[in-house]
Amino acid sequence: MQASTDGRPKVFLRSDRYTSLVADLGLETIEEMAEDLGVDDGNLSRILRGQPVSAEFIARVRLRYPKIPYEQMFREAIV
């Protein structure tokens, strides 16, 4: 995990909640989940394992699942 040099929080996907949501939609593999969001499956795999997310990734999730509150899908932490 990268250390924050400016004291600002990094944003992380709540992986358990995300995988539960997409499983309910029938998406079970990393490849299916990545295709659904239009992201690389390698990047999604790293995010699911705890890598901080980019603003672009947040936007993709928010556009794909607009009814799910930000706080339910993401968490912020100073690392």
Q: Which amino acid is at 39?
A: V
What's the domain range around 34? Answer: 13-77
Does any domain span residue 33? yes
**Tens digits of residue pLDDT in 8-53:** 899 999 999 999 999 999 999 999 999 999 999 999 999 999 999 9
- The pLDDT of residue 5 is 64
User: Quick check: 6 pLDDT over 80?
Assistant: no
- What is this structure's pTM? 0.87
Is 54 inside a domain boundary? yes
d(CA 40, CA 20): 20
- Residue 5 resides in a domain: no
Count of beta carbons in the 10 Å neighbourhood of residue 68: 15
**d(Cα 44, Cα 61) in Å, to the nearest integer?**
11
Q: Specify if 2 maps to a domain.
A: no
pLDDT of 79 = 84
Number of domains, the chain: 1
Question: How many angstroms separate the CA atoms of 1 and 36, rounded?
Answer: 26
